[in-house]
Amino acid sequence: MTTAAPARPAAGRTTAVSEMARLLRLLFEVEREFLRTVTTLIYRVGEPELKYLLCQHAWESAGHARFLRERGRELSSFGTTESVRDSFRRIFNEATGTCTQDPLVLTAGFYQILKPALLSAYRHYLKVTDPLADWPSKKLVEEFIADEDRHAREIAPYLVGIDAREWSLHLTQALDDLGGWLGQETRLPLAANYGWQHAQTPFSHPATCNRGKYPTCSSAFSQDPTETPIVRSWLVDPKTDARVIRLMVYVWLMLEMDAVDYLATVFVDTPNAPFDLHHDMARHLWDESRHSQFGFRQLPKLGVDLMTVEHSLDLYNILVQMPPHERYAMMTMEFEAGSFPTKALVMDRVRELNDFEADTLLAFDRNDEQNHVRYGHRWLPEIMALCGETRPTDQFVKATQAKFKEFAVIHGNRTPHALPPERRLTGEKILRLVGAT
């Protein structure tokens, strides 16, 4: 008579599933932390095309994290919370650097050290999982690997000639202490004298955002056509030539770069936010970057030299002095919610030109902005709670609007025109450009 084998503990029946869930959880946390911290680069780099690219990558990383979470929750042992382990958070906090560091060196740290390590982790996952049993995860990871390869190619031109060797070694040592994001490599413990920079100098936002080679000013809006390109009264005046309206709204769209810069500051300031909040903010951020690209790409087609268009910095300069829940409240409940009446008139006027491309861009801008206001209604109470704000939302928004006006007096109108009137784009020059009287 044969002896029956001893029964295995029930937990052992799904060991393979639990191990893959553990790895998916680690990948989710890395993607989530990348989103939270890579956004600190956006307002510190100056090249608009690089800002746009970082916004796109942040959104794609948010998508990776969301799918990893959804797949992970289908497997046992993934966990029900969305917290990030301290060992990961510490490395990403370190990667944000300080305000005095070259933002392109910091970009190299993210893209030449942390993301290649993530790519290596994804490839390791494919090696150790069963391609048939874990087919859903396999197909996701294959797509993410393709994204990571593309991200590396897209960012490479911006890092040519950047000497980031010292900073890269610093981050490599921190990552080697883990043995890679999945612990799949030989661990090399940190030296006893390794200094965590973020512990010595906590991250802080720069007082103003970087616009690189492009000229700047306090605001591109005024009532004076000899001063700024966007003349508020002209936007809503039925006598204004529709071609003038089109040019002014493209300037307005391009200068939604300020929304890109100040919204990007909110991620790192809300480390304990629900992931879905950061996911929707990443979509919001990507939308704003696309809107800015509408103007950035269309203005030259209509004869505008982008080096004559001054970038307005007031909104960033004011909002960065306020806590994150107040920044988010002003963006969604004031600036975006308040723009619909004017933009509706603008859309109607531009339609007179039978310009299908302009109509399309403005239609998508309006649709996106409506979604952003919905995000505000959904997430503002959550951010308020994270920041310890207990007032009713309506009361808080009114108080924040009043505070913004006070801060505008203190921190606004501090950026002089970078260009003299004869060189910068103004309302009068737009009139001459389109041949309007």
Q: Would you call 198 helix, strand, or coil by DSSP?
A: helix
**pLDDT of 2 above 70:** no
Q: State the average pLDDT for the chain.
A: 95
For the chain, give the percent of residues with pLDDT over 90. 93
What are 221-258's pLDDT values in tens digits? 999 999 999 999 999 999 999 999 999 999 999 999 99
**pLDDT of 13 above 80:** no
**pLDDT of 334 above 90:** yes
- Which tokens is 227 given? 């001063």
What are 87-117's pLDDT values in tens digits? 999 999 999 999 889 999 999 999 999 999 9
CB 277 within 8 Å of CB 380 = no
DSSP 17-84: HHHHHHHHHHHHHHHHHHHHHHGGGTTT---HHHHHHHHHHHHHHHHHHHHHHHHHHTSTTS-S----
Half-sphere exposure of 193 (CA within 13 A, CB side): 0
Rounded to whole angstroms, the Cα distance separating 80 from 95 reads 28
What are 353-364's pLDDT values in tens digits? 999 999 999 999
Rounded to whole angstroms, the Cα distance separating 132 from 246 reads 54
Please tell me the predicted confidence (pLDDT) of residue 6: 52
DSSP 201-249: S-----SS---TTS-EES-SEES-TTT-SEEHHHHH-TTS-HHHHHHHH
- Mean pLDDT, to the nearest integer, of 2-11? 51
Interacting residues of 37 by C-beta distance below 8 A, sequence separation 6+: 92, 93, 95, 96, 110, 267, 268
- Mean pLDDT, to the nearest integer, of 199-217? 96
**pLDDT of 12 above 80:** no
Please tell me the predicted confidence (pLDDT) of residue 11: 57
**Rg of the chain on CA atoms, in Å:** 25
Please tell me the predicted confidence (pLDDT) of residue 266: 98
Please tell me the predicted confidence (pLDDT) of residue 99: 85
Please tell me the predicted confidence (pLDDT) of residue 1: 47
Rounded to whole angstroms, the Cα distance separating 195 from 214 reads 36
Question: H or E segment at 312?
Answer: strand 311-312
What are 144-173's pLDDT values in tens digits? 999 999 999 999 999 999 999 999 999 999
Interacting residues of 89 by C-beta distance below 8 A, sequence separation 6+: 33, 271
What angle do the packed helices 15-38 and 115-128 form, to 10 degrees?
A: 170
Please tell me the predicted confidence (pLDDT) of residue 4: 52
